[in-house]
Chain A
């Protein structure tokens, strides 16, 4: 049973560019959440998708957007990258509002 998978694992971008991160949830899970974790900090909630709609959003600007597909996989898009967007981006999946299972993350470096 595959767990939560994320791609790419590492990527480097320059300021002003755009990035897309991808997530496949654990088998049987229908809900995907995205978190940003800066170095030395706890993860911060970005948003959650359920039934292809954004159900809840954290305190992040509109530069952060997402999408959930009919197969429950999800994408996180960040536009106009800033140096401060450098972080580990974590995807978590769950069945409705059950226990969250996290992927290994995508490490984004913005130069």
Chain B
């Protein structure tokens, strides 16, 4: 089955710097890759996602890149702010031809942005 590896497990940056979180996946048939942000005491919140027919997607300070050949995808946060501090999860799923393809999550990255 699918396996998603996420690195690093913790990341500390200065406010204004960029942060990059990387994930690799094992199932070459995976075709959907969402990223979630989880704040303390809250559920994961979808912040951006990418599908396999796209190599990059950007939403303001957040971007995601996908390299299907290498089977890895990355989250990029530019101009980080203290409110970006949270745990970030990547995930992957595949289309089973109409039936449910379940999300497989990475183990998370705790991002700390220091003022």
Asked if A and B bind, the verdict is: no
Binding site for B on A (CB under 8 A): none
Binding site for A on B (CB under 8 A): none
